[in-house]
Amino acid sequence: MLTYVIRRLLLVPLLLFGVTILIFIMQKFLDPVERAALYVRGDPKANQIEAAITKYCLDCPIPVQYLNWMVGKVDSTTGEREGGILFGNFGWSKTGSQPVASLIARRFPNTLDLTIWAVGPVILVGIWLGVQAAVHHNGFIDQAARVFSIVGTSFPTFVFGLLMLMFFYANLGWFPPGRLSDEFNIVVSSDQFHRYTTLLTFDALLNGRGDIFLDALRHMFLPILTLSYISWATFLRVTRSSMLETLRQEYVTTARAKGLPERDVIYKHAQPNAMLPVVTLAGFSVVGLLAGVIITETVFDYPGIGSAAAQASAQLDVITVLGFALFNGLILIVANLIVDVLYAFVDPRVRLS
Amino acid sequence: MTQVTPTGNNELLGEAVARRKIGRVERFLGPDNYRVLQGLFKTPASIAGSLLILFFVIIALAAPVLAPPVTPNEPYKIPRDGFKSQPREIGAKWTKNVPDIPFWYKAVTGNEKWVHLFGTAQGQYDIYYGVIWGTRTAFKTGLIVVISTVLLGVLVGAVSAYYGGLVDNILMRIVDVLLVLPSLMATLILAAVLTPVIGRSTLPVMISLIAFGWLGYARVIRGDILSVKERDYVLAARVIGNKDSRILFRHIIPNAVFPTLVLASLAIGDVVLSFAALSFLGIGVDVGYADWGQVLAFARNWITSLDDYWYIIAFPGIALVLYVMGFNLLGDALRDVLDPRMRGKT
């Protein structure tokens, strides 16, 4: 186990290095004038850019540039560090009119909030559907689940999202897009509302504002439904095939032969063993939710990091997009590490291979 | 692929095997690959998938007849009937920029003059044209991206598996790094970076889809080749003194890639989905380019009144869903055929 974890940990610096190189190469597509935006705040004036190019060595040899880009430079007069993505300076966001890092800090809690509420329905319902389909193999539930899984994987997120908005917002007016209703936005941005966790739903509860909590959930309902719907198809398929295979194992026959009730056979003997591939999928789908909510957030106008990244790239604000990419890369490297190690705990075959 | 030969004195079976007719196609592809081809037309689901794809192929081929381009040099530009922002309903009269009337028009629609068959979107872009020519865009982008990704993936995977050692290690670590970002995010970033450099067209998104699309194929092919590499005929080829490149391209790759090729050709659906998603987000092609995602994006500004303007979502949405579903249905059937555990059961 320990050797597996160590081997896996050794991969992390390599991946980090690789991802920074990747992003660095991408930003090399920009000319030096645009890259100066990493260091110049706000709308730069012409001479400021020239100064930044010479000061930060934006036309130096590439290894020097990479180093500068990573750790930045300490100003000799003021002693302040300028630039340097390792220190969280991702540059100035034109579309957000603020440093990219603070834009991420403001947007990320919203995405995290959405992810936390979406995980339950996404994973549990998907697994339940898959188990039911396998238990009633070739029965009505199985056929229905099969049709659903094919329709589900063919239905693009944004088409589904737009349809949901058409029915539940434009037609019925139940679930509006956005983050909060206007009247609550004022409350939330006022001083009386303490941001304990920065996660809106939890803050609302901690402040004792049930109405704000419910309003936030109302705005998150359609995004959660969209995210779940897309994942259900995948979970269903994986759980179903894994469960079908497990039900064919000899120990299941043994359990049946010794007279256990069918319920125990399925839920106590078969299901736990069928969950192995599902566990990996669940891990990756949580990670995927964190990073891949670009379209869902955009459709529902939800102010998370996904919609910010989409907006920035639609307006060709490359510095901001690359900042988001770096942040996402870091999150994913750590999250994948956690998933892999957890998986090794669950399945001894992984750590022994 | 092991050949099962009857053992013992089993004359009847031997005779049956000898008498079985083997068609030209089967002889050309070999029994295993032929079985895969058969899988395309076996179950109702796979037949439905094939028919859906055929339907779209016909629409794409007949696009100039179904929707004669107003500006023949730029057929992919959706014609505009004026510039008003308010979308107009199905059957609204077409006043400006009217296209030629094709021969089938009067008989099918019963109208003397062009109307907006599927309505117009914001900016008076005709949705019918967007859907019809969008089919061509879908095949064009899908085919180019899939062919390029497969070629790249097969090449990298093959080199990696065949040479092994340091080459394998370096190539696979590059794949690991590129796989860190989720594919949509990665594609989005690269497309955003490339667009200012090469301008707004289908190119930036296609290049990005290719750049991050080959990774999976490289891994799969690498695995397949690792097993084919140990076959006796590869050893034989080496013994008689063939060059590495000849062994790789003449002996190993042809024997390892067929399943990947089939699955890859069905990935066109996924590619088109990603492409549409990106143009929905406003990345890649210009506003008004005939692409389903682009037309769907017009609905974003009219969310509060979508129940009136349902046709902006409905037509391109149905086209996209059916297109992707066609490929998914086929893919589903084929995955069953290709699954080694299912072998011998079909």
pLDDT (tens digit, 9 = 90+) per residue, A190-226? 777 777 777 778 777 777 777 888 888 888 889 998 8
Residues in A 140-169 with any Cβ partner in B closer than 8 A: 150-151, 153-159, 162-163, 165-166, 169
Q: Please report residues of A whose CB lies closer than 8 A to that of B46.
A: none
Instruction: Give the 3-state secondary structure of residue B98.
Output: coil
Radius of gyration (C-alpha) of chain B in whole angstroms: 25
Interface test with B, best of A237, A313, A315, A330 (most B CBs within 10 A): A313
What is the signed CA dihedral for A67, A68, A70, A76, rounded to 10 degrees?
A: 130
Cβ contact B188–A154 (<8 Å): no
Sign of the alpha-carbon torsion through A315, A321, A324, A328: positive
pLDDT tens digit sequence for A31-45: 777 777 666 666 666
Q: What is the ipTM for the molecules in this complex?
A: 0.82
CA distances to A34, A38, A39, B333 from A61, rounded to whole Å, are: 18, 18, 19, 54
Q: What is the pLDDT of residue B141?
A: 92
A25 touches chain B (CB under 8 A): no
Task: Return the structure tokens found at A93.
Answer: 């966001």
Mean pLDDT score, A337-344? 80
Which residues contact residue B272 at a Cβ distance below 8 angstroms, ignoring those fewer than 6 apart? B138, B141, B142, B320, B323, B324
CA distance A353 to B2: 27
Q: What is the pLDDT of residues B49-107, one digit of tens each?
A: 889 999 999 999 988 888 888 887 888 888 888 788 788 877 777 777 777 777 777 77
**What is the DSSP-derived secondary structure letter of residue A93?**
E
- Spatial neighbors of B228 by CB under 8 A, at least 6 apart, are B234, B252, B255, B256
SS3 state at B63: helix
In the stretch 272-331 of chain A, residues with CB closer than 8 A to chain B read 288, 291-292, 294-295, 298-299, 309-310, 312-314, 316, 318, 321-322, 324-325, 328-329
Q: Please report residues of A whose CB lies closer than 8 A to that of B334.
A: none
Residues of B with CB below 8 A from A26's CB? 189-190, 193
State how far the Cα of A321 lies from the Cα of A16, in Å rounded to an integer.
18
Q: Which residues of A touch B310 (CB under 8 A)?
A: 166
**Is the predicted pLDDT of residue B346 greater than 50, yes or no?**
no
User: What pLDDT, on the 0 to 100 scale, is given for residue B344?
Assistant: 44
**A189-198, A315-324, A328-337, B225-234: the lowest-pLDDT one:** A189-198
Question: What mean pLDDT, rounded, does chain A reach?
Answer: 80
B contacts of A309 (beta carbons < 8 Å): 185, 188
Task: Please give the Cα distance from B131 to B113 (Å, whole number).
Answer: 20
Query: pLDDT digits over B129-142, tens only?
Result: 889 999 999 999 99
Q: Which of B185, B277, B310 sits opposite A166 (nearest CB)?
A: B310
Calculate mean pLDDT across residues B185-195. 87
Q: Is the pLDDT of residue A57 over 80?
A: no
Q: What is the pTM of this model?
A: 0.83
Residues of B with Cβ-Cβ distance to A21 under 8 angstroms: 177
Closest CA to B221 of B271, B258, B250: B258
* 3-state class (DSSP) for residue A81: strand
Quick one: pLDDT at residue B342?
47
- Residue A247 CA to chain centroid, in angstroms? 34
User: Alpha carbon A155 to chain centroid distance?
Assistant: 20
| pLDDT at residue A350, rounded to an integer | 61
Length of chain A: 353
Q: Which residues of A58-79 are buried (b: 16+ CB within 10 A; e: fewer)?
A: beeeeeebbebbeebbeeeeee
3-class secondary structure, B126:
strand
Please answer whether residues A243 and A134 qualify as being in contact, where contact means their C-beta atoms are separated by less than 8 angstroms.
Answer: yes
**Which of A154, A249, A336 to probe the B interface (max B CBs under 10 A)?**
A154
User: Which stretch of A233-237, A335-339, B2-6, B168-172 has the lowest confidence by average pLDDT?
Assistant: B2-6
Q: Which residues contact B269 (CB under 8 A, 6 or more apart)?
A: A154, B142, B323, B324, B325, B326, B327, B328, B331
Q: Which residues pair with A82 in a beta bridge?
A: A73
Q: What is the pLDDT of residue B334?
A: 74
What local confidence, expressed as pLDDT, does residue A353 receive?
56
pLDDT of residue B319: 92
Nearest CB to A159 within list B193, B282, B317: B317
Instruction: Choose the mutation target among B131, B174, B181, B324 for the interface with A, i.e. most A CBs under 10 Å.
Output: B181
Per-residue pLDDT, B152: 92
Using the beta-carbon criterion (under 8 Å), do B303 and A158 form an inter-chain contact?
A: no
Which range, of A80-94, B8-22, B70-84, averages the lowest pLDDT? B8-22
Give Cβ neighbours of residue A188 (< 8 Å, ≥ 6 apart): A180, A200, A212
Quick: pLDDT tens for A106-160.
888 888 888 888 888 888 888 888 888 888 887 888 888 878 888 888 888 888 8
- How many A/B residue pairs have CB atoms within 8 Å? 146
CA-nearest of B77, B90, B85, B86 to B118 is: B90
